[in-house]
């Protein structure tokens, strides 16, 4: 009898998991709004039905799909690249912002401004082929660990958002990343981590040039910036790469505001969602005054326009696939 009851319990748990596509989400308003939206746009013959070809969902990456504190992941990649290349550039010891990076002086790095950022990006992201950079990025992301959690960065993706990505794809959505991060930095690993292939990744883009080297065709990365895929650059990137206005957009900061405005300023049914970082115990709590992932104007817009706001502390049962604390 006990064996039969145990078997029935396993069956019941399995059935419950199958019936709930978002098991890491609390039964809150945010979850209900997501389920309601998907139900309406996929109900064939309904007033809000959206054909499969138009079911485009766009996701910011940093702070929306994975952790972005204490600094953006790609910023740490750049710092590590500068340190690894420093022996080949002894002049960097006295040249900003390289000198500040090598000393770990974050204030000194910040003082270099946009020109300093451009110099660092040129030194770490240009002057090589795209294949060479792909390998550098993939090797780094496969081994680099978060500075305070001691875990691989790919362990710090958000389990509820992984479930949301899978749920949308199961309902005929095509999911895209639209991030301020570098497009070539993300493409080597997003399919493995998020199930999003490289052709569905949009990010800040540098110049590229086709060249022949010893009879072999290559694409070489240039130091010029073609698209800054942040803030008002995000709708431009969407239009340039996708050519359709999304029906759903997901972000977490003021850098995503224009993307959400572009998505939800349309007469048809739309879903715009902000991830609000409110859990200082399991992750971090920050919004209006944060230098990384600042959420101020977008939070006000969400309230004014009725967008969905996810309270991480109360709306998510778990944060990471394997729970860790900062």
Percent of the chain at pLDDT > 90 equals: 88
pLDDT at 37: 98
Q: In this model, does residue 2 exceed pLDDT 50?
A: no
Q: Return all residues near 39 (Cβ < 8 A) that are at least 6 apart.
A: none
pLDDT for residue 14 is more than 50:
no
Residue 53 has pLDDT above 50, yes or no: yes
d(C-alpha 271, C-alpha 290), whole Å? 26
Other C-beta atoms within 10 Å of 122: how many?
A: 16
pLDDT greater than 70 at residue 11: no
Mean pLDDT calculated for residue range 294-321? 98
Q: What is the pLDDT of residues 302-312, one digit of tens each?
A: 999 999 999 99
Share of the chain above pLDDT 70, in %: 93
How many CB atoms are located within 10 Å of the residue 224 CB? 13
Q: Tell me: pLDDT of 153 over 90.
A: yes
Q: Give the pLDDT confidence score for residue 275 in this predicted structure.
A: 99
Q: Is 60 exceeded by the pLDDT of residue 12?
A: no
Q: What is the mean pLDDT of residues 309-326?
A: 88
Cα 235 to Cα 318: distance, rounded to the nearest angstrom: 31
pLDDT for the residue numbered 242: 98
pLDDT in tens, 240-294: 999 999 999 999 999 999 999 999 998 889 999 999 999 999 999 999 999 999 9
> Tell me: domain 23-70+149-315, CATH 3.40.50.1000, correct?
yes
Angle at 153 between CA 145 and CA 235, to 5 degrees: 140
Q: Cα(201)–Cα(195) distance, rounded to whole angstroms?
A: 11
Q: Enumerate the domain spans of the chain.
A: 23-70+149-315, 75-130
């Amino acid at each position: 009898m006990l064996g039969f009851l145990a078997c029935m319990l396993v069956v019941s748990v399995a059935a419950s998991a199958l019936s709930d596509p978002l098991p890491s989400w609390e039964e809150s308003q945010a979850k209900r709004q997501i389920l309601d939206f998907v139900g309406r746009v996929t109900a064939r013959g309904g007033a809000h039905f959206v054909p499969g070809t138009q079911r485009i969902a766009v996701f910011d990456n940093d702070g929306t799909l994975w952790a972005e504190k204490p600094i953006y992941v790609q910023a740490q990649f750049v710092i590590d690249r500068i340190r690894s290349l420093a022996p080949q550039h002894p002049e960097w010891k006295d040249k900003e912002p390289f000198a500040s990076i090598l000393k770990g002086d974050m204030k000194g790095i910040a003082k270099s401004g946009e020109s300093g950022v451009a110099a660092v990006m040129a030194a770490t992201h240009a002057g090589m082929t795209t294949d060479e950079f792909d390998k550098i990025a993939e090797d780094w992301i496969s081994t680099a660990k978060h500075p305070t959690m001691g875990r691989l960065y790919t362990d710090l993706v958000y389990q509820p958002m992984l479930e949301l990505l899978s749920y949308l794809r199961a309902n005929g959505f095509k999911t895209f990343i639209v991030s301020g991060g570098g497009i070539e930095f993300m493409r080597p690993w997003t399919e493995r981590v998020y199930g999003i292939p490289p052709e569905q990744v949009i990010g800040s883009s540098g110049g590229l040039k086709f060249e022949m080297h010893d009879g072999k065709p290559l694409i070489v990365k240039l130091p010029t910036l073609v698209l800054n895929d942040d803030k008002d650059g995000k709708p431009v990137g969407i239009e340039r790469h996708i050519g359709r206005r999304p029906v759903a957009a997901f972000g977490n900061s003021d850098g995503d505001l224009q993307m959400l405005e572009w998505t939800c300023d349309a007469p048809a049914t739309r879903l715009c969602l902000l991830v609000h970082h409110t859990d200082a115990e399991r992750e971090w709590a920050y919004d209006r005054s944060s230098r990384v992932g600042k959420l101020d104007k977008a939070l006000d817009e969400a309230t004014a326009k009725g967008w969905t706001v996810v309270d991480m502390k109360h709306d998510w049962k778990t944060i990471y696939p394997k729970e860790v604390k900062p």
